[in-house]
Amino acid sequence: MTSANNLQKSMLPYYQPQANEVELFEYAFQHQLPVLIKGPTGCGKTRFVTHMAERLKRSLFTVACHDDLTAADLVGRHLIGPEGTWWQDGPLTCAVRQGGICYLDEVVEARKDTTVVLHPLADDRRVLPLERLGEQLVAAPEFMLIVSYNPGYQNLLKGMKPSTKQRFVSIRLDYPNAETERQIVANEANTSEGLAGRLVELATALRRLEQYDLDEVVSTRLLIYAAKMIDSGMSAHYACRACLAEPLTDDIAIVEALMDVVSIYFE
């Protein structure tokens, strides 16, 4: 590998693969296929997409989906100014025109009528209807549509329709194994592998607790937060409480129970 290639690789946003997701993503890009990424909060979905956009040298347009997101927020709208009315592309339209990657994070949070605009882009047509302009915009060859969601949050009201799911190549991510997670925490927090290893061991223990009705478990993201604070001099007890226990629950009794586990790993 040349020095130029080494430099390019070092400039990529750090991502430690869990399995063959990098290869799957590249094959999907090569064949102009949309990708659905599913996994729990803080497992690396957004970092993975950022890494792949840089790896493939494509512009990335990220949209954080929410209940009030409208189709116009994605596609674009007419604006009025001193010089009259003009059309402004939304992030999805920008990506379609430029051959970029459009990433809709937590797509199930968006309104159902919003996701309908994705259907003609997520099949062999690869077109985006711009009804207000009377235009059928054909996607540039390098355009790629990526959506993600957390399966743990799905319910009857907020789920992805089977007819929508089957338009995507699906990649499942999870929290990495202990060795991989240790490397990630050490690299992202710029801390020692010893501290990263202890935090990963603690997270493994907390994730095994089944007696507490927690909606989520400790994420890799939270471990990185804790590692940064401890490494900068904060008490491990306070850092773990603020970064690992309190974000998981509002029940003070459960927080204290989680801190009992923390005390085993950090006196």
Residue 264: per-residue pLDDT: 95
For residues 19 and 95, state if they share a domain: yes
Looking at the predicted structure, is the pLDDT value of residue 156 above 50? Answer: no
Query: 192: which residues sit within 8 A by CB, 6+ positions away?
Result: 186, 231
pLDDT confidence tier of residue 169, bands split at 50, 70 and 90:
very high
113 vs 25: which has the higher pLDDT: 25
What is the extent of the structural domain holding 226?
Answer: 178-265
What is the average pLDDT across 177-185?
95
For residues 145 and 189, state if they share a domain: no
Q: Which of 172, 205, 237 is the last residue of a domain?
A: 172
Angle between helical axes of 178-189 and 220-231 (0-180°, round to 10): 50
Q: Which of 119, 151, 172 is the last residue of a domain?
A: 172
Query: 197: which residues sit within 8 A by CB, 6+ positions away?
Result: 182
What is the average pLDDT across 69-95?
92
Q: Which of 83-87, 94-98, 151-155, 184-188 comes out lowest in average pLDDT? A: 151-155
Q: What is the pLDDT of residues 42-63, one digit of tens each?
A: 899 999 999 999 999 999 999 9
For residues 77 and 191, state if they share a domain: no
Taking the CA atoms of 168, 55, 31 and 144 in sequence, report the sign of the dihedral they define.
positive
For residues 159 and 202, state if they share a domain: no
For residues 182 and 168, state if they share a domain: no
Q: What is the pLDDT of residues 217-264, one digit of tens each?
A: 899 999 999 999 999 999 999 999 999 999 999 999 999 999 999 999
Neighbour-count burial of 226, counting CB atoms closer than 10 A to its CB (0-12 exposed, 13-18 middle, 19+ buried): buried
How many distinct structural domains can be found in the chain? 2
pLDDT confidence tier of residue 132, bands split at 50, 70 and 90:
confident
For residues 38 and 73, state if they share a domain: yes
Q: Which of 140, 172, 204 is the last residue of a domain?
A: 172
CATH number, position 135: 3.40.50.300
Distance CA 41, CA 27 (A): 25
Q: Which of 195, 214, 80 is nearest to 152 (CA)?
A: 214
Contact call for residues 107 and 160 (beta carbons, < 8 A):
yes
For residues 16 and 125, state if they share a domain: yes
What is the average pLDDT across 65-88?
90
For residues 149 and 191, state if they share a domain: no
Q: Which of 127, 125, 107, 122 is nearest to 167 (CA)?
A: 122
Residue 9: per-residue pLDDT: 52
Residue 113: per-residue pLDDT: 77
For residues 136 and 207, state if they share a domain: no
Q: Which of 147-156, 183-192, 222-231 comes out lowest in average pLDDT? A: 147-156
For residues 145 and 184, state if they share a domain: no
For residues 33 and 88, state if they share a domain: yes
Q: What is the pLDDT of residues 99-120, one digit of tens each?
A: 999 999 999 888 877 888 999 9
For residues 105 and 198, state if they share a domain: no
